[in-house]
């Protein structure tokens, strides 16, 4: 790797780390909306159905609807 490329990499890795942190903050701030979107989704798959493949839908019975787990990463969407 040339010296110019090494310098470029070093600088851009730092920029990307900052960007990643910014994305995590931005996406975490969507949490209240995401809770609502999740609730809407779980309703839709019980009424209109879940897309199994293509346009084939299957209605999911209430007893099979997943429950939010009690663990630290339950709400995490950026990994």
Partner 1 sequence: MTRPHIEPFVELNESYKPFKIPGFIGAHYKVLSLDVDTGACSLKVRFDGGFKRKPGMSYSDMELFVLEGGMLVDKEYYGEGHYLFLPAGMAMGAIEVPQGCEAIVMYNDSEPTYEESDAHHQLALKESYVSLNSYEDAPWAGGSIVSPSVATGCMLKLLHFDPLTEAMTFLYCMTPQFMQDNISYHDCAEESYHIWGTSWMLQFGDLPTGGYFWRPPYINHGSFRSKLGCIALGRTDSKLHNYFHFNPWTNPDENRSRAAATLYRQKPQLFKWVNAGGHNHPHGPQGQLEHPTPPADFEHPDYTDNAQVKILNEQEYTFHEMDHLHGNYDPDAAHAKAHTHGHAHDHGEGSDHEH
By the criterion CB under 8 A, which residues form the site for partner 1?
A: 1-2, 4-5, 7-9, 12-13, 15-16, 19-20, 23, 27, 30, 33-34, 37-38, 41-42, 44-45, 48-55, 57, 60, 65-66, 68-69, 73-79
Buried b / exposed e across 57-74, counting CB within 10 Å, b at 16+? eeebeeeeeeeeeeeeee
Q: Are 60 and 46 in contact (CB under 8 A)?
A: yes
Alpha-carbon gap, residue 10 to 36, rounded angstroms: 40
CB of 63 to partner 1, least distance (A): 13
CB of 33 to partner 1, least distance (A): 7
- What is the closest distance, in whole angstroms, from the C-beta atom of residue 74 to partner 1 in the complex? 5
């Amino acid at each position: 790797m040339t010296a110019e490329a090494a310098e470029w990499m070093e600088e851009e890795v730092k920029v990307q780390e900052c960007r990643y942190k910014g994305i995590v903050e931005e996406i975490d701030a969507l949490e209240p909306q995401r809770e609502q979107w999740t609730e809407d989704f779980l309703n839709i798959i019980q009424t209109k159905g879940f897309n199994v493949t293509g346009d084939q839908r299957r209605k999911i019975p209430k007893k099979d609807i997943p429950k939010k787990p009690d663990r630290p990463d339950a709400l995490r969407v950026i990994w």
